[in-house]
């Protein structure tokens, strides 16, 4: 049975009421302008988002309400002037509140048509300030760790399960002489442990690392790009980046200065040992209690004692 005109009108009124309630309660800021860009309707969220009262914005040019700053005026004007012919979807824009505060928004805008004729334009604004702040926080955190990685005084290598190089820092390139391009995607063990014995050791350490998922340290040797061997202290451990990616993090500490210092200390000790023993005068070392700790050869010869 066809609907009567009265029934149809009633149904349309109900739909219209529901649509009106939908727009009024929408979490998105919605605005409708006439063909001169003057606001003829703004929902509560739009007014709240930009800090205006509904009576204040009605009849105003949309750009006066949302783009009252020189920094955004040109871009907003371009959108307003072209929206009657071209729908816009802007995922990241900046607009201005009544109090002058900048606000990050996404915008969906387009023409309003009646009988095929453009009679105005609509705009839907979403406040993305929290999203933008979260993205900025992530960028800052990433930049912090990038700088921490890059400027670390120790050589750092990131590689995957097959010992394929992913990333190295500047200290690594300076220590081993390899460029980043030399390392990325290559089997780093073949580059850093060219001696067969060192290669077996490196492979074994990788296997141990991945099987136990525990950090370990080792003093050993590795190979520079020019073929020279360099003493290093290694701290190596695997970790999960996410559910799909696993990375091995290795720190190399150059032990060259340490070994040189130890060698110099041994030489110095040997020198004073010889000086002590070769001295023509009798020398004895004792503690506070008078217990003899050591005596040189001249002492034993002078007093006739033996070392025992």
Total domain count for the chain?
3
Average pLDDT by stretches of 10, the chain with 308 residues: 52 68 89 95 96 96 94 93 91 95 95 91 95 91 91 94 92 96 95 94 91 91 95 92 85 90 82 81 84 83 78
Quick one: 156 and 235 in the same domain? yes
The tokens describing 10, both together, are: 């009633």
Work out the end-to-end distance of the chain between its first and last CA atoms, rounded to an integer number of angstroms: 126
How high is the pLDDT of residue 5?
Answer: 52
- In a domain? residue 124: yes
What are the residues whose beta carbons fall under 8 Å from the beta carbon of 150, sequence distance 6 or more?
A: 169, 170
Quick one: 128 and 163 in the same domain? no
How high is the pLDDT of residue 3?
Answer: 47
What are the residues whose beta carbons fall under 8 Å from the beta carbon of 28, sequence distance 6 or more?
A: 45, 124, 125, 126
Overall pTM surpassing 0.85 (yes/no): no
How high is the pLDDT of residue 203?
Answer: 94
- In a domain? residue 11: no
Of 254, 255, 261, 256, give the one whose Cα is nearest residue 154. Answer: 254
- In a domain? residue 52: yes
How high is the pLDDT of residue 23?
Answer: 84
Quick one: 191 and 278 in the same domain? no
Which residues form the domain of 24?
18-133
Quick one: 160 and 191 in the same domain? yes
Let me know the angle formed at the C-alpha of 296 by 293 and 299, rounded to the nearest 5 degrees: 100
Quick one: 213 and 289 in the same domain? no
The domain that holds 96 is classified in CATH as 3.30.450.20
- In a domain? residue 111: yes
Quick one: 174 and 79 in the same domain? no
Q: How many CB atoms lie within 10 A of CB 97?
A: 16
How high is the pLDDT of residue 12?
Answer: 57
Report the phi/psi class of residue 161: left, alpha or beta, with left for phi > 0 and alpha for psi in -120 to 50. Answer: alpha
Quick one: 43 and 110 in the same domain? yes
- In a domain? residue 170: yes
d(Cα 308, Cα 306) in Å, to the nearest integer? 5
- 105 with 96: CB under 8 angstroms? no
Any idea how long the chain is? Answer: 308
Write down which residue in 98, 133, 168 finishes a domain: 133
Quick one: 90 and 166 in the same domain? no
How high is the pLDDT of residue 1?
Answer: 45
């Amino acid at each position: 049975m066809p609907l009567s005109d009265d029934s149809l009108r009633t149904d349309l009124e109900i739909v219209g009421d529901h649509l009106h309630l939908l727009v009024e309660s929408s979490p998105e800021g919605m605005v409708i302008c006439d063909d001169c860009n003057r606001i003829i309707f703004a929902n509560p969220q739009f007014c709240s988002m930009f800090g205006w009262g509904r009576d204040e914005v009605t009849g105003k040019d949309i750009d006066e309400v949302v783009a009252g700053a020189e920094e955004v005026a040109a871009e907003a004007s371009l959108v307003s002037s072209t929206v009657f012919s071209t729908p816009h979807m802007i995922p990241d824009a900046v607009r201005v509140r009544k109090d002058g505060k900048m606000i990050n928004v996404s915008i969906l805008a387009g023409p309003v048509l009646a009988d095929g004729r453009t009679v105005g334009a609509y705009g839907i604004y979403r406040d993305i300030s929290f999203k933008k702040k979260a993205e900025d926080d992530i960028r800052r955190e990433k930049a912090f760790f990038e700088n921490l990685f890059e400027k670390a005084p120790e050589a750092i290598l990131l590689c995957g399960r097959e010992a394929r190089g992913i990333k190295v820092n500047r200290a690594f390139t300076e220590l081993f002489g390899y460029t980043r391009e030399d390392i990325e995607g290559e089997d780093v063990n073949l580059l850093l442990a060219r001696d067969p014995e060192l290669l077996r050791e490196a492979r074994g350490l990788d296997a141990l690392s991945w099987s136990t998922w525990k950090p370990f340290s080792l003093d050993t040797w590795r190979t520079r790009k020019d073929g020279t061997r360099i003493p290093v202290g290694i701290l190596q451990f695997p970790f999960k980046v996410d559910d799909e990616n696993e990375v091995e993090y290795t720190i190399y500490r150059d032990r060259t200065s340490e070994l040189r210092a130890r060698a110099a200390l041994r030489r110095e000790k040997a020198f004073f040992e010889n000086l002590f023993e070769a001295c023509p005068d009798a020398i004895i070392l004792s503690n506070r209690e008078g217990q003899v700790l050591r005596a040189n050869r001249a002492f034993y010869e002078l007093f006739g004692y033996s070392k025992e």
